[in-house]
Structure 1
Amino acid sequence: MDNKKYDVIIVGGGIMGSTTAYYLTQKDPKLKVVVIERDLTYAKASTTLSMVNARIQFNLKQNVQISKFAFDVLANFEDTMTVNDNRPSIAYRREGNLFLYQEEGVAETKAAMVMQKELGCKIEWWSPEEIREHYPLYKPENLDGIAGAAFGAEDGHFDAYAVLMAYKANARAQDVDYIEAEVKDLIFEGKQIVGVKTASGDSYASEIVLNCAGAWCNDLARSAGFELPVNPVKRQCFCVDPATKPARPLPLTFIPTGLYFRSETGGTLLMGKSMPDDVVGYNDFTWSQDRFMEVLWPELAEFVPEFERLKLVRGWAGLYAVNTMDGNGIIGEWPELKGFYLANGFSGHGLQQGPAVGRYLSELITGTTPTLDLSIFSPKRVLEGKPIDGESGFLADELRHTSH
Structure 2
Amino acid sequence: MSGSANQNIPKKSSYDVVIIGGAMLGSSVAWFLSSNKDFNGSILVVEKDPTYEFASTSHTNSCMRQQFSAEINVRISQFAADFVKNFRDYMGGDDRVPDVPLHSYGYMYLADTNSFADVLRDNQKLQAACGAGTKIMSPEEIKRDYPFYNLDDIIAGSINLVDEGYFDGNTLFDWWKRSARENGVDYIANEVVAMTRSDSGRKVDSITLKSGEIVSCGTIVNASGPRAVLTSRMAGIEIPVEPRKRYTFIFDAEIPVDGDLPLTIDPSGVHMRSDGAYYLAGCPPDEDPAVDYEDFTQDHSIWETKAWPAIAARIPQFEAIKLVNSWAGHYAFNPFDQNAIIGPHTEVENFLFVNGFSGHGFQQSPAVGRGISELIAYGEYRSLDLTAFSFTRIEQNRPFVEKAVI
Is contact 2:371–2:381 with CA below 8 Å preserved after alignment?
no
> In the alignment, does 2:36 pair up with 1:55?
no
State the partner residue of 1:150: 158
> In the alignment, does 2:187 pair up with 1:178?
yes
Is contact 1:83–1:170 with CA below 8 Å preserved after alignment?
no
SS of equivalent residue, structure 2 residue 103: coil
State the partner residue of 1:402: none
Is contact 2:88–2:95 with CA below 8 Å preserved after alignment?
no
Question: Residue 88 of structure 1: CA displacement?
Answer: 3.1
State the partner residue of 1:249: 260
Is contact 2:88–2:94 with CA below 8 Å preserved after alignment?
no
2: CA distance, partners of 1:81 / 1:193: 32
1: CA distance, partners of 2:358 / 2:313: 28
The residue correspondences of 1:1-400 to structure 2 (distance < 5 A) are 4-27=13-36, 28-81=38-91, 85-88=95-98, 90-102=100-112, 103-138=114-149, 142-154=150-162, 155-189=164-198, 190-266=201-277, 268-278=278-288, 280-367=291-378, 368-389=380-401, 391-392=402-403, 394-395=404-405
Is contact 1:4–1:204 with CA below 8 Å preserved after alignment?
yes
TM-score when normalising by structure 1: 0.92
What are the Cα deviations for residues 260-304 of structure 1, in whole angstroms up to 9, with x where unaligned?
A: 0000011x1100111332452211112233211121111111111
Percent of aligned pairs sharing the same letter: 37
Question: Residue 105 of structure 1: CA displacement?
Answer: 1.1
Question: Residue 324 of structure 1: CA displacement?
Answer: 0.6
Is contact 2:33–2:373 with CA below 8 Å preserved after alignment?
yes
1: CA distance, partners of 2:253 / 2:281: 12
Is contact 1:82–1:88 with CA below 8 Å preserved after alignment?
no
Q: Which runs of 5+ in 1 are unaligned?
A: 399-404
The residue type equivalent to 2:393 in the other structure is R
2: CA distance, partners of 1:195 / 1:246: 56
State the partner residue of 1:401: none
2: CA distance, partners of 1:3 / 1:42: 24
State the partner residue of 2:5: none
SS of equivalent residue, structure 1 residue 219: helix
Aligned length: 390
- Structure with greater helix share of residues: 1
Question: Residue 84 of structure 1: CA displacement?
Answer: 6.3
Question: Residue 108 of structure 1: CA displacement?
Answer: 2.3
Q: 1:380 to 1:347 in 2, by over 3 A?
A: same
The residue type equivalent to 1:183 in the other structure is V
SS of equivalent residue, structure 1 residue 7: strand
2: CA distance, partners of 1:259 / 1:223: 37
